[in-house]
Structure 1
């Protein structure tokens, strides 16, 4: 039997657990001195599919001035409304569990869950995530968009590795299922 593709969260957060300020800013993240690209290129080679929510997609397109940065990968954006696909992105408005179960069985590399907080919450609650790679920045921003939202779910994790990139610490966990 072939290996199933893994769903991997690869994300940075502040020490106090936020992925962005309440104004959706990541300026705090770029103030921290890293090392190279902090493991991004290495990780990017392990995936061929990208998943994200519509709000994250809109933020990326605004920051990248309309140039989608993941055009070399299959990219899916979850949206509650009907949106026309682009040459780089397929918009999805269907049950997340059904969609991810089908995606998992297709041939390919691992699948990156980019974010944001709402879509990640659903993936975690539905126990779709297989691995978490969380890079922690040594900064406290006080409030913002939390990486993990409170809810009635629990995940049992195993620490698989720790790396540092100058001031950043990368924590790698697998989800015990």
Structure 2
């Protein structure tokens, strides 16, 4: 059964990105390259889903219009659904499907693209919240970095009580703490 997993990194104070939508803070964490749980997670993923801000940052940060092979190096041949109401740059050769509208309206297509694997909600937090609002968020995996930002883009800009979230596991991965939660 295909499930939707919001898997992301966040600072200790609960931010995904700074006020400028940058993830540069994450790459400044010493020994971040020692983290290995991500590769195991990626093996379970059939399709990516991300918002336009996350997509634009990845494309610009990795210079993907000039180096489209970097997309494949990071994500393989998996299709990606990018939710956006604005025009975005394309990554040559990548299977990127620009969509808009409610998550519920795209769910059947996303599941079909995932095949027998899971849906990875890459980010941002608001898109993950839209999946939760639609009853389509099954798991949250947060890799907590030893850093704080003080402000920025929140991990999940929704209110979730403990009646909706259950911690399934906690582990260390290199310099990070990883929490896996189920969503009810």
Match of 1:60 in 2: 58
Q: Are residues 83 and 60 of structure 1, via their aligned partners in 2, closer, same or farther at CA, if it must alter by over 3 Å?
A: closer
Q: Does 1:96 align with 2:103?
A: yes
Name the one with the larger helix percent: 2
Query: How high is the TM-score relative to the length of structure 1?
Result: 0.85
- CA–CA separation in structure 2 for the residues paired with 1:99 and 1:132: 20
> Does residue 41 of the first structure (1) align with residue 39 of the second (2)?
yes
Gaps in structure 2 of 5+ consecutive residues: none
Distance change (3 Å), C-alpha of 1:83 and 1:26: closer
CA RMSD across the alignment = 2.3
Change (3 A) 1:29 1:84: closer
Alignment TM-score, normalising by the size of structure 2: 0.82
Corresponding residue number in structure 2 for 1:16: 13
How many residues matched? 172
Task: Show the 5 A alignment for 1:138-149.
Answer: 138-149=146-157
The C-alpha deviation readout for 1:27-59, integer Å capped at 9, x for no partner, is 322232346234111111010100011121111
